[in-house]
Chains A and B, each alone.
Chain A
C-alpha cells in the first residue's frame, strides 16, 4: 500500500505538485492519467526517492519512507524503498547483456552467486526471454527491452512497481500487443502498481482504478465507470474532452432538466436540485446518432437534436469515428453502412441526436 500525504514540489518558480494526496491499495493497479507536463513523472520520481519533495510525506506499507511527522523523519534512498521503476525511455544498461541487466540489483544485495543465477533465470522466464539472456540491449526489439527492464526492476523483489509510460518506448505498430502482454505480467504479479500514462484508453485497459491528475493534484480517482459517468470537475470532463458541455441548469421542463450551454438548449434526465446551478453534462458516446435530417425517432423518450458540422472522420475496420462541431465537440462511432446511407462527409451540415437519458449532468464544483 502506498500513502501519499500532502506532497508539494516546485522547480524554480513553478509549482508542479500542490498538496497532493493519494492512496494506492495493496495489489491494486492504479493509473495516473493526465496531460503531458502535469507532474505525473515528478510524482513517480518523488515516490521512488529520485526527487525530494518540498513538503509532505510518503508511506509504503505503513513505513514512513520520506517526510517528517511529529515523532520521526525519514528520507530513504531509492534503493531502500522496495520500489521497482520502469522508465519511459529504454533505460537498459547498454554495455551489459540482458542477464547482467537483470542481475544488477541482485549483485548489490551481495547474494550468493547461485542465488543470483537462479533468480535471474526465473525473471527471464517470467518475461519469456530466457533465450535472449546473452543478448545486448542493441540486439533486442523495443518490447523486448521493456520486458527486460521490467524483469530488472523486479529482481530486488520490490513491494511497489512504478511504470512511466512504458509503452511509448515500443514501435507504434507493436504497442497494442505489448500493452496486452504487459497487462498480463502486471496481473500475474499481484503487486501494488502505479502506471503513468497520458492515454485514456491505455489507462482503462491497464488499471483497476484511475487517478486523473491536473493542476498539480489528483482531480478525481475512481474506476472507468465512475470517471466517465461522473467527472468530478470540469477539468476531468475537459480532459475526457469530447462529448462534454459546461453550462447552467435553468428550469424544470416536464420533469426533465433544461440545460443552457454555449447557446444550445438541451433536456436531460437529472436531479431537479441542480436547477439554477452551474453544471457539466457528459454525453455517453454509444447513444449518439448523426443524420442530415433534423428529425429523429426517440420513441417514447424525450430527445435532443443539435445542428453542427462534421469536422473529422476516421475510418476504422467496421465503423468510422465521426466528430461533429455542434457548439461543443461530439464524437461517436457510426457503422459504415449508416455513413453510406446518409452519405456523410467532412464539412456536411448535420444533426446530432441523443436522448435525454444519455446525458449525465453534475454540478460544476470547479470555481473557475
Chain B
C-alpha cells in the first residue's frame, strides 16, 4: 500500500518542519533563562553581590539545603537498602508513598507538614512539650526541604543497590563475616555514582524548594527566607536583587546537573 500522505509532501518540507519544531523547543527553554541574564548590567552585578539581603538568603539557603541533604542522606541510604534487600507485604504501597513527594504539589506538602508539626497538629503538642515551635523556624525550612527533596536520593540509591550483581555481594559475604564491612567496601562503593547523583539532585531540589517552605515555614528574612522565597519578595520592590538571586540559582542548578551528567559517564577501571 502506498502512503499517499507521505508521498505528496517532499522530504525537504518534512525536514524543515521538524527542524522548526526542534528549534522552537530549544528556544522555548533557553530564551526565558537568557532573559534573566539580560535584565542586569555587569556593574549592577557587583553592587548586588554586596546586597545584605541577598547574602543573607544565600547563607540561609546553603545552610538549610546542606542540612536537608545531610539528613536525607542519613535517613535514605539505610532505608533504600532495606527496601531493595527485603520483601514484605505492602512493600509496593510503602515504596510508592516514599516516592510521592516527587509528584505531590509542594503546597500539599506544606499543608501536610503544617498539620503534623503545627502546635495543634498531630505531633505539634509533643514538640511543644519539648520546647520547640517548629512552624516559622529555620528547622521548619529544613524539614520542608528534606520532605520534598529526599525522594530523589531514595529513588537513585535504590536503582544503585538494585543494579548490584548478587554474585558480587555473595562473594564478599563468603570472605567477610561483617555485613557492615561488605556494605561499606562493596555495596556502597559500587553504588556510589547513583548515590552521588541522587544526593546532588536532592541538594538541587532542596535549594529550589519554594511552595512547601512558604506554607509551612513562612517568608521571614534571615530565618526562613531562602533564595527562592527572597526572589518572590524582592521582585515587588527590589527587582534587581531578585534577578541577581535568580541568576545565582540558575548557575548553581546548571553546575549540579552538569556534574551529575559527567559523573554518570565515568567508568571503573578507566584509570590505570
Contact = CB atoms under 8 A, between A and B. Distances in A.
B32 interface: no
B178 A108 contact: yes
B177 A77 contact: yes
B189 A95 contact: yes
A104 B173 CA distance: 11
A105 B103 CA distance: 44
A152 B165 contact: no
Interface string B205-224: 00000000000000000000
B176 A108 contact: yes
Given A94-B268, A94-B269, A138-B268, A79 B177 contact: yes
Contact of B174 (A79, A107, A137): A79
Contacts of A93: 168, 171-172, 186, 190
A317 B271 CA distance: 44
B20 to A, nearest CB: 44
For chain B, which range describes its interface: under 10, 10 to 19, 20 to 34, or 35 or more residues?
20 to 34
A78 interface: yes
B177 A136 contact: no
A89 B170 CA distance: 11
B268 A156 contact: no
Contacts of B41: none
A83 B174 contact: yes
B167 A89 contact: yes
Contacts of A87: 167, 170-171
User: For this complex, into which size category does the number of interface residues on chain A fall?
Assistant: 20 to 34
A287 interface: no
Contacts of A84: 174
Interface string A73-107: 00001111001110111011111000000001101
Interface in B157-196: 165, 167-168, 170-178, 181, 185-186, 189-190
Nearest to B270: A138
A103 to B, nearest CB: 10
Contact of A152 (B167, B171, B177): B171
A78 B173 CA distance: 7
Contacts of B189: 95
Contacts of A136: 268-269
A153 B171 CA distance: 8
Interface in A131-187: 136-139, 149, 152-153, 155-156
B171 A91 contact: yes
B165 to A, nearest CB: 7
A220 interface: no
Contacts of B167: 87-89, 91
A48 interface: yes
B199 to A, nearest CB: 18
Given A89-B165, A91-B165, A94-B269, A50 B170 contact: yes
9 contacts: A78-B173, A78-B174, A79-B175, A79-B177, A85-B174, A91-B168, A93-B171, A136-B269, A138-B269
